[in-house]
């Protein structure tokens, strides 16, 4: 059955009217996030999500941080964080240990032997960041980062 295209011809994309969307900050931020996240996934072969990498980085920078403090730092509730921590623990990247001073709290640390895996991930994330940032001059990147920090609060 023929699709009406000559051999090797690409189907033409139909233009879609976007209305006011391109003038909405939220729309553009979401589109930019989708592109950055897609590049991140490709750079890390889908091995870890940006959120999981961010969480691991906070644990690396704050060994022994409690789940409660980590959730607050990420702006998440503890119940949202729990499944992510479980996945990272199951994959051998994170270790949780109950605090002797308060058995209800868990201290989080990079799992033994996970330092090398984290370092490899970080190198790939930094290459991804360089690739994304290469679209801008140093001054443009600095201004974009300044503006995004204002949006983020």
Domains detected in the chain:
24-152 (1.10.10.10)
pLDDT at 106: 86
Handedness of CA 27, 28, 29, 34 (dihedral sign): positive
Give the residue from 98, 119, 101, 99 showing the smallest Cα distance to 110: 119
> Given phi > 0 = left and psi -120 to 50 = alpha, else beta, which region is 16?
beta
Q: Check: pTM over 0.95? Answer yes or no.
A: no
Residue 37 has what pLDDT?
96
Q: Give the H/E segment covering residue 57.
A: helix 50-61
pLDDT of residue 13: 72
Residues 99, 46: Cα–Cα separation, whole Å: 33
Position 109 scores a pLDDT of 96
Q: Residue 74: which residues within 8 A CB-CB, separation 6 or more?
A: 54, 55, 58, 81
CA dist., res. 141 & res. 134, Å (int): 9
Instruction: Give pLDDT, residue 1.
Output: 47
Question: Residues of the chain whose pLDDT is less than 50?
Answer: 1
């Amino acid at each position: 059955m023929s699709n009406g295209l000559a051999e090797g011809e690409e189907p033409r994309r139909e233009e879609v009217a976007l209305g006011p969307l391109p003038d909405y900050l939220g729309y553009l931020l979401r589109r930019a996030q989708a592109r950055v996240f897609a590049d991140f996934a490709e750079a890390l072969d889908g091995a870890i999500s940006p959120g999981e990498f961010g969480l691991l980085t906070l644990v690396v920078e704050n060994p022994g941080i409690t789940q409660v403090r980590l959730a607050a730092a990420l702006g998440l509730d503890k119940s949202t964080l729990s499944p992510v921590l479980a996945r990272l623990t199951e994959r051998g990247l994170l270790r949780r240990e109950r605090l002797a001073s308060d058995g209800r709290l868990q201290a989080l640390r990079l799992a033994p032997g996970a330092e090398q895996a984290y370092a490899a991930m970080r190198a790939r994330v930094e290459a991804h960041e360089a690739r994304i940032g290469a679209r801008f001059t140093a001054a443009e990147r600095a201004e974009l980062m300044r503006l995004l920090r204002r949006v983020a609060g």
